[in-house]
A and B are shown apart, each in its own frame.
Chain A
Amino acid sequence: MEKRVVFRSAWLPYFLVAPQIAITVVFFFWPAVQAVWFSFQLQDAFGLKSQFVGMQNFAHLFNDRNYLTSFKTTALFSGLVAFFGIAISLLLATMADRVLRGAMAYKTLLIWPYAVAPAIAGVLWAFLFAPSIGIVTYVLKGWGVDWNWIINGDQAMLLVVIASVWKEISYNFLFFLAGLQSIPKSLIEAAAIDGAGPARRFWTIVFPLLSPTTFFLLVVNIVYAFFDTFGVIDATTQGGPGQATNILVYKVYHDGVKAADLGGSSAQSVILMFIVIALTVVQFRFIERKVEY
């Protein structure tokens, strides 16, 4: 789609896009190109000399057990976050769509966590689950669960998943609620007349009609788990214990900033870039399809 009307000016349009393009070039393209460049370089310990080493950094990465583990950790983490984030908010949205009374109030109460920074969400849950003083830890102890995420990797993973899901529920909830409210009531009524009970109606009518929303949220949640949860991890487990919660993004940061391994961190950046590109392509493919409907 293009506009029929256009204004003519030799310089004005360039002037108008200049700020955006300048920032994009300086802070997006230039660093991205550098990341690619660094990923083929090896620097000495003082960062004084560097030499071109081709694919060596990448070869190192794929021989590095820690890196491969980080891949698995990331897959597990984002799978859990996306699954629970979507399942819980779908349940809540379906219920909120059902109840006539108080739907607005529930909505208002449920959207709060969106305003909370991921890092703070991490801090809140770390406090609740703190091994010695946490109130949830106390309850768990009462149930005979020995809880200490600082030394138990699985529990650490559970903690960051809970914090990340908690933060993301409100977002998913809003989209599901909007999706549910756009389903024509007459469809549900027709199914009811055909004799379908509430559960059956949900699985045969509502859920299929929500599938575009669900798919969209799936991609968004995976992107969220990949990148935006950095704050959650950094404020709680910092990748530990061991490598238990060291997701890819955290590892890039850790290796680059804390361990000052420029080449290795850049190679990881480049791989992440490919992952983002793949996710973006999937997302846009999907949006295109949606437009066709």
Chain B
Amino acid sequence: MVENRPWLTFFSHTVLILGVIAVAFPLYVTFVASTLTLEQIMQVPMRLLPGDQLIENYSQVLTGGSTKGSKAAVSHMLVNSLVMALVIPLGKMSISVISAFAFVYFRFRLRMFFFWMIFITLMLPVEVRIIPTFKVIADLGMLNTYAGLTVPLIASATATFLFRQFFMSIPDELAEAARVDGASPMRFFWDVVLPLSKTIMAALFVIQFIYGWNQYLWPLLVTTDESMYTTVIGIKRMMVGSDSANEWNLIMATAILAMLPPALVVMFMQKWFVKGLVETEK
């Protein structure tokens, strides 16, 4: 910085530390609550040091859910969440990367028409077409199936545009060199375009993993069967009403389990994560 003003630096650190506390405090309390007995939580004020119920609470939710609310095993929900968090990004990237390739490297009738179709989906989030989309899923017999949970969410204008943008930046000469070398379009796609897209795919994967894992409204609509609950839905189903009736220790243990995978992804793939965020919004 330009000048040295100790009090300003001190102030900055203070603000930042307060910010970190505000961000971390709810997470910390959640963790503490997940290690206490329900009685300990009900004692106002709740103690703020971890208790000794960690193993009990977690093994209870992993195998048997809550006792008052949903009794579905959270371990199974984690699997469902993982399916969503993997199938959605992989599906999204697959269909987006090939359609973007077609848009950039081919000229065909209806090209602009298809392009605008995909563009318009930006304006049709699930939230604005809740009931009819639910009906479509029901008519197709996709309620309570993995296909129903994932397929409708893999169409994505953002990912298509992102790939398109990236392909536009690949020098024309590379495609020409490949043509002279005798590569067919798909060969060029596999041997040149895909390897060059690796970084962007990693970034997109991180963002979409979190997106898939954290889905809420969609699974709420298309799953009624306990065996299809995702973890986030599971938490909601464990809440049985007003504040003191809930088994907060179990709910909080489940919340920690639900937060852990995306948090780890953010932590360990921070570079891709930041890139993904900034790139997808350009």
Contacts and interface: CB of A to CB of B under 8 A. Distances in A.
Contacts of B188: 7
Given A30-B136, A114-B266, A273-B128, A98 B26 contact: no
Interface in B121-135: 121-125, 127-135
B124 A273 contact: yes
A234 B236 contact: yes
A184 interface: no
* Interface SS majority for chain A: helix
B217 A230 contact: yes
A117 B217 contact: no
A25 B29 CA distance: 45
Nearest to B159: A20
Contacts of A6: 105-107
A269 B128 contact: yes
Interface in A260-286: 262, 265-266, 269, 272-273, 276-277, 280
Q: Range of interface residues on chain B? A: 35 or more
B12 to A, nearest CB: 4
Interface string B216-246: 1100110000000000100110010011100
B45 interface: yes
Nearest to A175: B278
A23 B95 contact: yes
Interface string B12-34: 11011001101111110110010
A207 interface: no
A111 B232 CA distance: 20
Interface string B114-153: 1001101111110111111111100010000000000110
Interface in A1-33: 1, 3-9, 12-14, 16-17, 19-21, 23-32
B131 A35 contact: yes
9 contacts: A32-B128, A38-B131, A115-B214, A117-B215, A119-B232, A120-B259, A133-B46, A175-B278, A256-B131
Interface of A: 1, 3-9, 12-14, 16-17, 19-21, 23-32, 34-35, 38, 88, 91-92, 95-96, 98-100, 102, 106, 108-121, 123-128, 130-135, 138, 150, 166, 169-171, 174-175, 178, 188-189, 192, 198, 216, 220, 226-227, 230-231, 234-235, 249, 252-253, 256-257, 262, 265-266, 269, 272-273, 276-277, 280
Given A95-B12, A150-B243, 6 more contacts: A99-B12, A102-B16, A117-B262, A133-B244, A135-B46, A230-B127
